[in-house]
Structure 1
């Protein structure tokens, strides 16, 4: 009986089976010999029905043409018909091929896949098989398309705006000069770009003008408006009065100022349109850079399989979903999975961290505001509900919403309409709400801190996300996944995690869950020097003596003390790898919000 060298090497097959990346292996007859779990999740085709067949292309190609693995196999093996006669093990990987394209899944989903295929050779250098991987990058592709469209719209606004829009760098040289600027200043953009902006300012206003574009003043980070007192100068020398707005910004690590110039009698309609498009572009860029990718979901536990089945079932509906679980369990990752599996996946999912915003700004953030609605509202602003129209809105840390914001949220859920803060116009939207909280909302309702009608409206489909300590089997998988991620990020190479370190990880109770595990692995990657990732024993958070004696304190007082001790241990450094936010497993802005809310201040 011939021995299959691919399955003989159990450690290699085990590695392929548990890789978080969809992977399959073909023999010389174009038959599947390995079809890993990630491949099952991506395609919906089980290994039992795929191994031994040549139907692997069904999962990855929309046209009747050979897949990448088939092409590479034919080009490297030619007439070879017996794959395993001379092969005892596979030892090298070469002849890598790469492609990316839209692919049709058996269940009708269209996914944008990044596909790589490579040959597997034995010790004699003979090709014995082909391995192919597929990475789902549909969300990033759609986001890139939306970002490109947003940039095109911004470019269109710049070109058609009646106001002159000029951008200058730190040397005060012009880097952008739109069509309206060319018309107003009576010169083509090629003439203006690269010249000092003072060339187009009346000499008697030069000193005042420079005060508005002060790159050296770190406090000058807010938009400024000069309604009068400035005069510009056309290319032919004619001077004319203007009003202008000055907006500092950073692009590609370069500090710039955008100046919008207009005649004193001109309307600021173009400015308002540009601001709305900039908001949309900024959010799309935020989504594109987000680390939370549903394709990176790593789990082998029965608990999480049950959760993912619930996610897939509810995703195709418009039912609100309430994700319940401790901090750091991956609720945002599941929210993105719900959005990706839904019919709204072509639109964006907009996130709002309800705990990161002061209570007085949450309503403005959700519903937008009209010009003059409150101090500082210098123009109309679209809220997150409007940005999410046609897509999904993820309300993280829902329990932090004020009662007034809860009332407005209930109306949107019931009627899909609302008014901006300070406005009377009713705005209709089509938004699917996904909410998450680590609080016991039923208890919050009994204490009068959360509306019962909103709770029952959101609690139609609750999903309990298990804590990491409830799925210990996932800890090695997650640890190795994060090891690969951060080793690549920091340019390091590790063979594996030290076995003693893995034992520490399994035994630790993980109060911070997956986010805490991620932070532990990232710090270990930075500190470790050898080929094995070294993880020191982890110390659980000590129980306060008052708790042991039954004299329990409020959660707020415990949180205040813990955050204070963490800040003191880090020298009151909030952000960065060694900052308090990283240790606590929180976003730096969320931590700053909690510090303000809890009244924490640095002594002395």
Structure 2
């Protein structure tokens, strides 16, 4: 029972299991705990830092105090100097929060959110400090990208061929781009704060004002019948688009004006402007980085909306989709958007565990419960108490584990393997599978009552071939990641290579695409990424070819080709499953469905 555990041992074990990089400094600034997540984040092993005061190496290139040091020394005033350039620095109760850029020992820049809290003795003296870090680099880079896109949009407006004018609710000009200056032969500083009607001939001003006051969404179009006048008095026919908008509680209207006498050139310029503007709006407003998930496809936008709706509830969620589609990332998004985000997200890959160990992994075991059980061990359900448990490949659970899981979900209680004490927990479950569980139920391989319990809120995650518009976006995302990782000056993907990537069916989904881009970056020799036939392991050539067969035929031929290349080996680091970016069991299932005979090494 928890009451029998040594509190220090329990606390140390809990901190060690946290998925967030966390370390503890004692009163002499020495590291007393450096958890596994901290090792992965900094690249510094616990054995190299515990007992020393070298913790700063994980975050800076030169020795400097961190939040934990300042809290131990009582020099909180030093925070203003340390975080003078921090994006945020706040204090809540006895916990300090700050965000800033740092540098890993390998020279990798990271943007880190830091949380530090003191541990005090009975006299209120700080005797230790717990500090955790969260890598916010991707989010920070996304914010910077948004700022860049806004600047680019501003530059496009300035260089547009069409006259673009924005007016306030009094029809006073607030934006007058370069094309408007040329069209009306008036400098922007002279037009600023002037009524736009001054550039319309008097007989047409009443009609023009009606368009300015329109509330029609998204825009009103006046294709003819309006006559404008330049600052020197010359009159000319125009067509105009009026787009109302509200900012900070005030009403504005953006007007795009075109000289009808020069319609053809203006339409060509407008087409370019709309393409650029649409791209920037997509970059600024789409869910490309929804909880660190890269996508701009409408199919994934629907998935993101489902995630937003279900996340605040404690409803079980069942993520359905092929291996490699990002179900684990979606589980993390549900947890982060829920009321349990301060608890742990505990992950279990049911397909990666032997059947005889799954129950022990989920529910823990008592000392002596089976051979090798030399001490009591907590299971994943206990670790997830107050948080979220993610069961990946739940369709691989054996029948005995299915029965015990059903009871745990229904009653929120269970016993450890070999134990008699009933443990109560408060856990939200997210499950994922690439199997058709309804078919598994019909075949007697999966319990119907467990299926109905899991299938409360199913979310179908589309395969990459069903959202091909994401391929260029993901490919460039992985290119940037691996070019930085390997120090390669690769800036973009060759058009022919990008076309081949977009045409491929991707049976291994995003994971397979990531593997291909990683290999290509490693072999890259120039600024443009190429995908040659040997590297792509079956990606279609960009040269014209005979029409392909059905999707299943293409997938079957591709799997057969990879099996031939790997000598029939399925599992292992050089097996066909690794090449395709698939779980070995998933590949075996696909082979059976496609009628591919099992090779001898199967």
Q: TM-score, with normalisation over the residues of structure 1?
A: 0.47
Q: TM-score, with normalisation over the residues of structure 2?
A: 0.47
